[in-house]
């Protein structure tokens, strides 16, 4: 619990992660309070997706700690973290192309055994993404890029996560779909789901987030409220495209 009574859901302390001998995360420290949208921004190779992969259990840090709800999770396998309340919508969507939309969504609930709750959440996802409802019997691989992104997010929501990890949800999408995705991210957050968002589109990310971290070469170089980051000269020049 923080001094203002807010519950700290996720906390990384001095996390170092590697790809073989490549030192990808070099002492990352950050936190996410319950109910927040927190975004990670930075250039390609800055360590944003590696941070998400390390939190989700796909990778394990060689040094440092990751706490979720006050419990250490840095050694917990990814599939067990889903059961604890952490779900990821990965970069590149990674849906199952030969399964139907409905089957893809049901794969997100593989750790659950509450049939009534799963049915309820299916309808929730179809309400959130009406296009998926229209295509529920269509194969995932035949969907457009935007529809596949909706499916990836919907699949993650089927795990009923308390912490949703979103990795580049706007990648490769037309501007009108980018706006739709970010509107949906805000709606998901308003239902009580905490979100850690990795996003190349820094402007859109900072518009929906409460706080943000700027990563460079595997380290945090700046952390502030999202509104303050949008006014920061370095952020405006490097990440918001201002001259």
CATH number at residue 166: 3.40.50.300
Distance CA(197)–CA(189), nearest Å, equals 11
pLDDT tens by residue, 100-128: 999 999 999 988 889 999 999 999 999 99
User: What is the helix (H) or strand (E) element at residue 63, kind and residue range?
Assistant: strand 63-68
Mean pLDDT confidence for 148-153: 92
Whole-angstrom Cα distance, residue 228 to residue 43? 19
Residue 160 has a pLDDT of 94
Average pLDDT over residues 189-217: 95
Strands 194-198 and 163-167: parallel
In a domain, 225, yes or no: yes
Confidence tier at 55 by pLDDT (50, 70, 90): very high
Residue 62 falls inside a structural domain: yes
Residue 181 scores a pLDDT above 70: yes
**Strand pairing of 219-225 and 211-216?**
antiparallel
Using CA atoms, how far apart are residues 195 and 33, in angstroms rounded to an integer?
9
Nearest to 71 by CA among 163, 138, 5, 157: 163
- 197 in a domain, yes or no? yes
Distances (CA, A) of 191 to 35, 90, 120, 175: 9, 21, 15, 25
The per-residue pLDDT for range 81-99, each reduced to its tens digit, is 998 999 999 887 888 899 9
The pTM is what? 0.92
Residue 243 lies in a domain: no
Least confident of 22-36, 150-164, 166-180: 166-180
Could you tell me if residue 1 is inside a domain? Answer: no
Q: Would residue 128 count as lying in a domain?
A: yes
Mean pLDDT taken over the chain: 92
Range of the domain at 170: 8-238
CA 196, 201, 205, 211 torsion: positive or negative? positive
Taking Cα atoms as reference points, which of 22, 48, 21 lies closest to residue 169? Answer: 48
Percentage of residues in the chain with pLDDT exceeding 90?
78
- Domains contained in the chain, number: 1
Q: Is the pLDDT of residue 243 over 90?
A: no
DSSP string, 111-164: T---HHHHHHHHHHHHHH-HHHHHTTTSBGGGS-HHHHHHHHHHHHHTT--SEE
Most confident among 34-38, 104-108, 182-186 (mean pLDDT) = 34-38
Asked whether the predicted pLDDT for residue 52 surpasses 60, the reply is yes
Give a yes or no: residue 2 inside a domain.
Answer: no
**Cβ 143 vs Cβ 135: under 8 Å:** yes
Instruction: Please indicate, yes or no, if residue 97 is contained in any of the structural domains.
Output: yes
């Amino acid at each position: 619990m923080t001094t203002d009574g807010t519950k700290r859901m996720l906390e990384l302390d001095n996390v170092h992660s590697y790809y073989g001998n490549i030192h990808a995360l070099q002492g990352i420290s950050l936190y996410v309070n319950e109910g927040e949208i927190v975004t990670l921004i930075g250039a390609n190779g800055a360590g944003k997706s590696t941070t998400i992969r390390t939190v989700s259990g796909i990778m394990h840090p060689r040094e440092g700690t990751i706490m979720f709800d006050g419990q250490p999770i840095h050694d917990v396998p990814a599939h067990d973290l889903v059961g604890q309340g952490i779900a990821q919508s990965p970069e590149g969507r990674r849906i199952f192309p030969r399964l139907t939309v409905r089957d893809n969504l049901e794969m997100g609930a593989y750790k659950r055994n509450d049939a009534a709750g799963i049915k309820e959440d299916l309808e929730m996802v179809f309400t959130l993404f009406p296009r998926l409802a229209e295509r529920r019997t269509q194969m995932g691989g035949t969907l457009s890029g935007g529809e596949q992104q909706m499916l990836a997010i919907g699949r993650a929501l089927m795990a009923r996560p308390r912490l949703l990890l979103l990795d580049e949800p706007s990648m490769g999408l037309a501007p009108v779909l980018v706006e739709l995705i970010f509107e949906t991210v805000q709606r998901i957050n308003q239902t009580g789901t905490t979100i850690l968002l990795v996003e190349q589109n820094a402007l859109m990310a900072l518009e929906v987030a409460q706080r943000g971290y700027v990563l460079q070469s595997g380290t945090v170089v700046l952390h502030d409220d999202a509104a303050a980051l949008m006014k920061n000269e370095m952020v405006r020049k490097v990440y918001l495209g201002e001259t």
